[in-house]
Structures are given as C-alpha cells and as structure tokens.
Amino acid sequence: MQNLQLGWQPATLLSAGLFTAATASTRLSRPAAGAQAGGGAQAGGGARAAGGGRAAAYLREAGLVAALYALWQLACTVSVLGGGGAFGRAREIVVIERAARLPSEHAAQRLVTGHPLLTQAANWYYAAMHFAALGVLLLWLFARHRRRYPEVRNVLVLLTAGSLLIQLVPVAPPRLLPGYVDTAARYGQSVYGVSGLSVDQLGAMPSVHVGWALLIGWAVVRVSPSRYRWWVLAHPVLTVFVVVATANHFWLDGIVAAALLAAAIGLLRLPVLARLTAGVDDGDAGRRGAGHGRQRRPDLVQIDRGGDQLVGPHRA
C-alpha cells in the first residue's frame, strides 16, 4: 500500500503556501469592497470581498492543520534518531498490561489473521481513515458550525502537542516484537516502506490514531443535535480494535491517548485558556475592510443557520 503521508518538509511547504494564499486572498478582497460606489455595484463589491474573506479563513485554518501535521512528522524524525531503548520500553508495556489484566493483543489479532479479507480491510482502515476522518470533521465544523470550530480545533492542537511530547521518547509497536503478526507487511500493505515518505515506526506511544478518533466522536456528539450522531462512535471503536489487531499499537497506547484527550478538554475549560475558544473566525475580513463591521454578528447567525438547515438548532 502506497504511503500518501507527507514528510515534515513538504508539509511545512504546504502550510507556508496555504498561509501565503490566505494573505493574498485577504488583500485582494479589500480593493473589491471599496472600488465600487453606490447601489448594486457596492453590494457586488461587498459580496466579492466576503467571498475572499471566507476563502482566506478556510486557507488559514488549512495552513494551521498542515503546520500541526508537519510538527508531528518532525517529532517522529527526532524519535527515530534517538531510537535507543524503544524495544525495551515496548516489553515494559507488555509487563504493565499483564499486571493490569488488560486484554491480550494476541487475542485481538487472532480475530482477523485467519481471515485474509478482514485483515486487509483492517490494514486499509488503519492507513486511510486516520487523516480522512479528521479532515471531514474539520471541514464539516468550519462550514456548518463555525462557532463551535475553534473549541474543537484547540482541543486537537493540545491533544496532538501532548502526544508529540510523549512520542519524543521512542517506543516500538508490537508488530516489531517477536510473537506478533505484522499484518500490513504480510499482505504488502505497509505504509512504512516508501522511500522519501516514511513515517516514524518508533512513536507508538501514545496512539494518535486513537486520540484523533476519540476526538472525532466527542466533537460530533457534542456539536450535532441529530439523533443519528451516536453512530459516529463506531469510528473510535473500530479504530481502537484495528490499531491493536494490526499490531500497530498496544492497548495502553490508546488508553494514554484517551487520557490526553480528556486532559486537553479539561485544560480548555480553565478560564485563561477558555478565551482561546471565545473568538470566532467568520472569514469576513473583506467586509470588515469595507466598513461592514456592524453586520458581522448577523452574518455569523446566517452562516450557522445555513448549516442548521441540515442538522437542526445548536444544543446549548
């Protein structure tokens, strides 16, 4: 399976390009708002400015996510360079899990290894759904629930940053230890063998896969008022099972990721950090430049209602 994950260098360039495009979009939208005067011409200029402002907002947020991803990949590189003791720490995790009477990773593997199609599906889910599901979540929030987006974005930043700090201490995944089956390597689906696009194999603790999947479940259940929102919890459940059954992570890797998510949510409820989620980036920089600052709050309501036509009113 081809590894489509970018290394930290191209991810950094992508982030810089997105921020540059956002700046250019903001600047180009300003003349459009003031160039026309009177009646419908002025309204048309304001509409173009609003469109440019919204595009800039999307580009800025995409640039931030790309920068966060680049930082994660860079930390993985540092972990690989300091890989001494990674296998010893993995064996210590096995001892801790046995002492805590956690389920065996071998038992989870036996559920899939006897079924080639199921095993290959698990490998695919591990490789493909990690970034795709998070991208869909962020796009949905930004487009449909703009006022709730900053909170989830900031939880994502804290969760990923905490994971990076721990991943600086290398820990080998179970698939690299004797007695475990590397299911992806068995079927030629490994994402770790593509030259130039390799990702760290010794950053198994904690599981960012599990952390992001739990974040997706928490965000959708918290934001969406739909009666069907609970189905999203199938994603973290499947992710937890898949990362263990494919021997990419220990159970403890997911437990630590869940603790980091809970800590990130708790920290952002502190009065000082709560202010980070108070602001709303409505993407209307062009309108503000055209002297429409007083329309900002009604526009936000209009944008949010547009999304709520599909999912209903916000919960308190």
State residue 203 phi and psi, 5-degree precision: -115, 45
The answer to the question of residue 304 being in a domain is yes
3-state secondary structure of 269: coil
In one letter, which amino acid is 310? L
The answer to the question of residue 316 being in a domain is no
Confidence category of residue 96, pLDDT binned at 50, 70, 90: very high
pLDDT given for residue 295 in this prediction = 41
Q: Is the pLDDT of residue 307 over 60?
A: no
Q: Is the pLDDT of residue 165 over 50?
A: yes
- Identify the weakest region by mean pLDDT among 60-74, 97-111, 296-310: 296-310
Residue 299 CB neighbour total at 10 angstroms: 15
The answer to the question of residue 75 being in a domain is yes
Confidence category of residue 44, pLDDT binned at 50, 70, 90: low
The answer to the question of residue 38 being in a domain is yes
C-alpha distances (whole Å) from 130 to each of 96, 101, 301 are: 27, 28, 32
CB 185 within 8 A of CB 126: no
- Identify the weakest region by mean pLDDT among 26-30, 48-52, 248-252: 48-52
The answer to the question of residue 158 being in a domain is yes
pLDDT given for residue 195 in this prediction = 40
Residue 9 CB neighbour total at 10 angstroms: 13
Average pLDDT for 178-189: 91
Which is more confidently placed, 3 or 276? 276
pLDDT > 70: what percent of the chain?
70
The answer to the question of residue 288 being in a domain is yes
Report the C-alpha gap between 248 and 270 in whole angstroms: 34
CB 49 within 8 A of CB 35: no
- Identify the weakest region by mean pLDDT among 73-82, 133-142, 157-166: 73-82
pLDDT given for residue 198 in this prediction = 44
Q: What share of the chain is helix, strand, coil (3-state, %, to 5)?
A: 75, 0, 25
The answer to the question of residue 249 being in a domain is yes
Q: Is the pLDDT of residue 311 over 60?
A: no
Q: Which domain holds residue 149?
A: 8-311
pLDDT given for residue 29 in this prediction = 67
Which residue has tokens 């959708």? 220
The answer to the question of residue 200 being in a domain is yes
pLDDT given for residue 296 in this prediction = 41
Rounded to an integer, what is the distance from CA 57 to the centroid of its chain? 18
Nearest in space to 104 (alpha carbons), one of 4, 290, 204, 245? 245
Cα 28-45-297 angle, rounded to 5 deg: 90
CB 181 within 8 A of CB 113: yes
Nearest in space to 163 (alpha carbons), one of 268, 64, 69? 69
- The pTM is what? 0.75
> How many independent structural domains does the chain possess?
1
The pair of three-digit structure tokens given for residue 5, joined into one six-digit string: 């994950």
Report the C-alpha gap between 208 and 205 in whole angstroms: 8
In one letter, which amino acid is 204? A
Q: Is the pLDDT of residue 24 over 90?
A: no
Q: Is the pLDDT of residue 305 over 80?
A: no
Confidence category of residue 61, pLDDT binned at 50, 70, 90: confident
Helices 8-35 & 39-81, crossing angle to 10 degrees? 170
Residue-wise pLDDT for 238-256, tens only, equals 999 999 999 999 999 999 9
N residues, the chain: 316
